[in-house]
Amino acid sequence: MAVREELLRNIRSVEPYVPGEQPKENDIIKLNTNENPYPPCPGVRQVLNDFDICKMRLYPDTNSDVLVSELAKKYNLDKSQIFVGVGSDDVISMAFMTFFNSDKPILFPDITYSFYDVWAEVHRIPYKRISLDNNFRINPNDYKSENGGIIFPNPNAPTGVLESVEMIEDIIKANPNSIVMIDEAYIDFGGESCLKLIDKYENLLVIQTFSKSRSMAGMRIGFAMGNSKLIKYLNDVKFSVNSYTMNQLSQICGAESVRDEKYFKNTVELIINTREKTKTALAELGFEFTDSKSNFLFVKHNSVKAKYIFEELKKKKIYVRYWNKPRIDNYLRITVGTPEEMSKLISALKEIVNV
């Protein structure tokens, strides 16, 4: 039934973000949403075993103090420099609401995390997509025109391309009147964080997540780091929308995960090693790819179309990500799984591309 025109005018109608599939079958190889193939650190199991369910009667700590304290220790920051939210999606959405309030367009790359334009639409923020060059690189000079703010991931998604802190600093420096958000969802897999710049630039917000390098996508934990003034603005908006965002279990499991630095480093290292070995195997099959510094690969084959490979992999119960979008419609994004999963992927690809 169509909604009356007059009524429609009062409705915020948006085209939502489309997340990767979460198939229900058990016997699949799931390489489509950049989840970590390893479990969270063993201490998380202990925290869950020890949890007194009677505490569920109570509202969670609105400040997530246990988690913020651990993050502050790890990153050598004051607690007032950290904002936590329900996944970095929640953090970024809050940050859009808080910091992108100009009439001028916010800027982000044409090929990037496809949630940015959705948030811009839902929060009614004007935006402009800036083309990456042919190697999917950012040209910092493109980000020096008047704007209402800047956001991009580093490494970028879905390309996996890492930009240098120096280049990003150039952009931050050139935009003293705009907030620059660096979405570091994948930074732990081999990139250098811009965190070291937050005391130097009052317009920088660095956003990270527990969903990838900390194996906790299901717990929904994200965080932003910046100077305490910016973080206060973010908290004021958050407390004006919903005080009790992060649940009790996420707070204590997240804190436990931060305490186990050794496990974190080991699993990240395993993924990096598997990523590099997979690159070699893919090259032998005629694939070309960016030098991804994340936990996924962005690949195209030198003769077989990506859409066909995507569909054939699915028939073999291997899920990867494909977008029918300009400039990337011949690419696949493949999450780095365990070595066993990647060797099954390579065998399947061998059959599909006929090597």
Binding residues vs ligand PMP (CB under 6 A): 87-89, 113, 153, 157, 183, 185, 209, 211, 217, 222
Shorter beta-carbon distance to ligand PMP: residue 70 or 89: 89
Shorter beta-carbon distance to ligand PMP: residue 148 or 222: 222
Shorter beta-carbon distance to ligand PMP: residue 95 or 313: 95
Q: How far is the CB of 211 from ligand PMP (least distance, A)?
A: 3
Q: What φ, ψ does residue 334 adopt, rounded to 5°?
A: -120, 120
d(CA 295, CA 240): 35
Indicate the residue whose CB is closest to ligand PMP: 87
Shorter beta-carbon distance to ligand PMP: residue 98 or 211: 211
Q: How far is the CB of 118 from ligand PMP (least distance, A)?
A: 12
Q: How far is the CB of 176 from ligand PMP (least distance, A)?
A: 25
| Pick from 141, 203, 133: nearest CA to 172 | 203
Q: How far is the CB of 343 from ligand PMP (least distance, A)?
A: 25
d(CA 23, CA 354): 27
Shorter beta-carbon distance to ligand PMP: residue 89 or 256: 89
Amino acid occupying residue 95:
A
Q: How far is the CB of 34 from ligand PMP (least distance, A)?
A: 6
Q: How far is the CB of 113 from ligand PMP (least distance, A)?
A: 4
Shorter beta-carbon distance to ligand PMP: residue 157 or 345: 157
Q: How far is the CB of 184 from ligand PMP (least distance, A)?
A: 9
Shorter beta-carbon distance to ligand PMP: residue 171 or 216: 216
Q: How would you classify the pairing of strands 332-335 and 321-322? A: antiparallel
206-217 burial string, b = 16+ CB within 10 Å, else e?
bbbbbbbbbbbb
Q: How far is the CB of 15 from ligand PMP (least distance, A)?
A: 17
Shorter beta-carbon distance to ligand PMP: residue 149 or 153: 153
Q: How far is the CB of 209 from ligand PMP (least distance, A)?
A: 3
The sheet with strand 321-322 has its strands ordered as: 287-289, 296-301, 332-335, 321-322
Shorter beta-carbon distance to ligand PMP: residue 84 or 349: 84
